[in-house]
């Protein structure tokens, strides 16, 4: 008996009812995306780490799931760990071989000699030795002998080649061939011993390097790929790779799982789904207006009580400018982003640590707390000295006034000037959505405008704006608030065909085929050994609403008993009548 199987930490199986509910959510969101003209794309689960790294901050990089290269990755890593040393050794070799040449030829023409042969010898020597010795268990003396004998053998050829090269090139030797040989012999004795010691020390260094190597360093040698961390960076990569086939503005949606090696807790999983909609290649604020409507419509359809919070990075910039200086925008953003977690006092303390005076902090909170009907007007007067801040307020005004003028029911949208969101690539609008009922405090959606996300992949100046639905958190909210329609069932089978023996079983098979041909989801109970009661138990356990029971008499008369398992009523009908009845009910 084997060990009990388990799931990796932070991951989950989804049983039939959960999948049906998740599909219902995905279909609802997808329908809204399509209604607003968004097109689907999908990207692979694995991305090159070059694509992922450096996009989510240091913390994000640490949360990437890294996939090791297949095959003999560690052997390769070890070979790759050596070059730093071997380059030096290679340089030494080159210098020394040049040295011997200097001794045997006219020093005045040394610079004109081709080093190709010499270099190729050195290269093959190095590459031959590297892989080999790392994996060998040779003792120091065995290694030394083998290096020596190898070098001696090769060096003779080298000596010959060098000599030939010198003769061919019409360079003048300072001596004849026998003198050259003598020089070369001396070189072998003195020099080769030195080389063998260098090789040994190189191997030692490699071992030492391995033993002091950190995981972070090793990553570079053994991993090339990672699981995607979000859908935004893969989307930016997609845009850059397909820029020539895409009609801009490009409106795409994407609904796929992402993976983060985060510490699992309530509402935080290591595999979870994001549903993203982005418009790229348009600076128009109409896109922000569409995205807000999408949020409102999807949450409304799902019945989730929601509040969309909106802010603007330019407003944050304006606040910074007025309070202390625009260069403090990120400091302020990072600090007030924690308002929910650490409270007003905590934020004040952090700002104080960053050198904010009590007056500045007072001013900041005074601005953040601008409220009431004329909120934006009031903020305008407070940020009157910041052109950037006023632009941000204008953008907010345009978006909010249009949202209110659209006849689309109530949209729960409010400004929150303390909304900052961590991601530093946002440049305009920022969104965040929270559920206004239930116990989940973290956001169920977020997004914003980014003016240069594709720039990191070499396509600058393409503005985009997007939102994301956090499917798994929304699921948790819906489950807690009991928002899933009762019509969603684990099993969608409408009728179970039951029978008594071999003959009625075959009849049931044909009857099932007829029902299925009429698009009625049908099962035939598979096991002939089970009595009708057991067969009906199966139907009841799966909440299958109808059973068709086929006995010998029914079979002979071309009929069957249709039983309503909810009501307990039953009728003898022809198969055609059963089809007709079930299509209507």
Residues 423-462 that bind a second copy (CB under 8 A): 456-458
Q: Decide: 283 and 398 in contact? Cβ < 8 Å.
A: no
Would you count residue 527 as binding a second copy (CB under 8 A)?
yes
Site membership for a second copy, residue 363 (CB under 8 A): no
- Residue 177 tokens read as 């061939």
Rounded least distance, CB 305 to a second copy, Å: 21
- Cα torsion for 172, 178, 183, 184, to the nearest 10°? 100
Q: Could you say whether residue 405 binds a second copy (CB under 8 A)?
A: yes
26 part of the interface to a second copy, by CB under 8 A: no
Nearer to a second copy, 95 or 527 (CB): 527
| Subset of 63-82 contacting a second copy (CB under 8 A) | 63, 65-68, 70-75, 78
The residue within the footprint of a second copy, chosen from 86, 196, 418, 522 (CB under 8 A), is 522
CB closer to a second copy, 15 vs 372:
15
Is 244 one of the binding residues for a second copy (CB under 8 A)? no
Binding of a second copy by 503 (CB under 8 A): no
Q: Does 137 bind a second copy (CB under 8 A)?
A: yes
Q: Which of 412, 452, 493, 570 binds a second copy (CB under 8 A)?
A: 493
Q: Sheet containing 522-524: give its strands across.
A: 522-524, 495-499, 546-550, 559-564, 570-574
Report the site for a second copy in 533-562 (rule: CB under 8 A). Answer: 538, 541-542
28-36, 140-148, 174-182, 299-307 -> range binding a second copy (CB under 8 A): 28-36
Here the tokens at position 64 are 């990437």
Nearer to a second copy, 77 or 333 (CB): 77
What stretches of 247-328 show up as alpha helix (H) in DSSP? Answer: 286-302, 313-323
Nearer Cβ to a second copy (94/518)? 518
Q: Residue 291 interacts with a second copy (CB under 8 A)?
A: no
The minimum distance between CB 547 and a second copy, in angstroms, equals 13
Instruction: Give the one residue of 198, 224, 394, 397 binding a second copy; rule: CB under 8 A.
Output: 224
Question: What is the three-class DSSP state of 531?
Answer: coil
Number of residues that bind a second copy (CB under 8 A): 126
- β-partners of residue 413 are 308
CA atoms within 13 A on the CB side of 226: 24
Compute the least distance from the CB of residue 12 to a second copy, in Å. 7
Give the residue ranges of DSSP H helices in 324-386. 329-336, 339-353, 358-368, 375-382
Q: Which listed residue (26, 46, 173, 326) binds a second copy by CB under 8 A? A: 46
What's the CA gap between 103 and 8, in Å, rounded? 67
Instruction: Please pick, from the candidates 187, 238, 306, 425, the single residue that binds a second copy as defined by CB under 8 A.
Output: 238
Name which position in 138, 402, 412, 442 contacts a second copy (CB under 8 A): 402
How many residues are present in the chain?
A: 585
Q: Are strands 271-280 and 464-470 parallel, antiparallel or unpaired?
A: antiparallel
Structure token pair of residue 62: 């640490």
176, 163 contact by CB (below 8 A): no
Are 464 and 478 in contact, with CB atoms under 8 Å apart?
no
Return the closest-CA partner of residue 505 out of 491, 486, 526. Answer: 526
Minimal distance, residue 390 CB to a second copy, in Å: 19
Burial of residue 498 (CB within 10 Å: 0-12, 13-18, 19+) is buried
Minimal distance in Å, beta carbon 260 to a second copy? 10
């Amino acid at each position: 008996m084997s060990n009990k199987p388990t799931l990796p930490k932070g991951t989950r199986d989804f049983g039939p009812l959960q999948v049906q509910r998740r599909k219902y959510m995905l279909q609802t969101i997808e329908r809204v995306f399509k209604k607003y003209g968004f097109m689907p794309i999908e990207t692979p689960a694995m991305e090159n780490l070059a694509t992922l790294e450096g996009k989510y901050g240091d913390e994000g990089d640490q949360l990437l799931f890294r996939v090791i290269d297949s095959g003999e990755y560690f052997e390769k890593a070890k070979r790759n760990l050596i070059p730093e040393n071997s380059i030096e050794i290679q340089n030494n070799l080159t210098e020394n071989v040049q040295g011997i040449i200097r001794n045997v030829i006219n020093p005045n023409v040394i610079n004109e000699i081709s080093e190709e042969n010499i270099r190729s010898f050195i290269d093959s020597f190095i590459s031959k030795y590297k892989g080999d010795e790392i994996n060998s268990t040779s003792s120091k003396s065995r290694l030394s002998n083998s290096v020596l004998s190898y070098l001696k053998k090769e060096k003779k050829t080298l000596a010959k080649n060098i000599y030939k090269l010198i003769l061919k090139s019409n360079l003048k030797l300072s001596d004849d061939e026998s003198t050259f040989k003598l020089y070369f012999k001396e070189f072998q004795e003195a020099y080769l011993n030195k080389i063998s010691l260098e090789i040994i020390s190189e191997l030692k260094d490699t071992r030492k390097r391995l033993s002091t190597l950190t995981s972070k360093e090793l990553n570079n040698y053994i991993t090339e790929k990672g699981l995607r961390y979000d859908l935004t960076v893969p989307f930016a990569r997609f845009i850059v790779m397909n820029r020539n086939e895409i009609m801009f503005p490009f409106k795409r949606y994407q609904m796929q799982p992402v993976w983060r090696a985060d510490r699992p807790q309530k509402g935080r999983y290591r595999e979870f789904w994001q549903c993203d909609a982005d418009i790229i290649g348009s600076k128009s604020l109409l896109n922000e207006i569409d995205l807000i409507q999408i949020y409102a419509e999807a949450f409304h359809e799902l019945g989730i009580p929601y509040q969309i919070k909106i802010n603007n990075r330019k407003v944050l910039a304006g606040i910074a400018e007025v309070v202390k200086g625009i260069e403090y925008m990120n400091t302020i953003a990072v600090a007030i982003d924690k308002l929910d977690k650490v409270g007003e006092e905590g934020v004040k303390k952090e700002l104080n640590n960053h050198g904010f005076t009590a007056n500045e902090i007072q001013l900041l909170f005074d601005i953040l707390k601008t409220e009431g009907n004329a909120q934006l007007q009031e903020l305008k007067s407070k940020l009157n000295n910041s052109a950037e801040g006023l632009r941000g307020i204008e953008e907010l005004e345009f978006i909010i006034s249009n949202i209110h003028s659209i006849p689309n029911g109530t949209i729960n949208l409010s400004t929150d000037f303390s909304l900052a969101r961590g991601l530093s690539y946002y440049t305009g609008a920022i969104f965040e959505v929270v559920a206004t009922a239930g116990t989940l405090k973290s956001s169920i959606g977020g997004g914003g405008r980014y003016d240069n996300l594709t720039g990191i992949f070499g396509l600058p100046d393409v503005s985009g704006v997007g939102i994301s639905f956090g499917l798994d958190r929304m699921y948790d909210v819906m489950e807690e608030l009991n928002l899933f329609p009762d019509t969603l069932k684990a099993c969608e089978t409408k009728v179970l065909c039951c029978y008594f023996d071999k003959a009625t079983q075959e009849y049931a098979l044909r009857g099932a085929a007829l029902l299925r041909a009429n698009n009625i989801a049908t099962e035939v109970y598979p096991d002939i050994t089970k009595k009708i009661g057991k067969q009906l138990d199966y139907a009841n356990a799966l909440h299958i609403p109808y059973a068709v029971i086929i006995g010998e008499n029914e079979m002979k008369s071309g009929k069957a008993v249709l039983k309503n398992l909810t009501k307990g009523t039953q009728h003898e009908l022809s198969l055609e009548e059963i089809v007709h009845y079930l299509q209507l009910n």
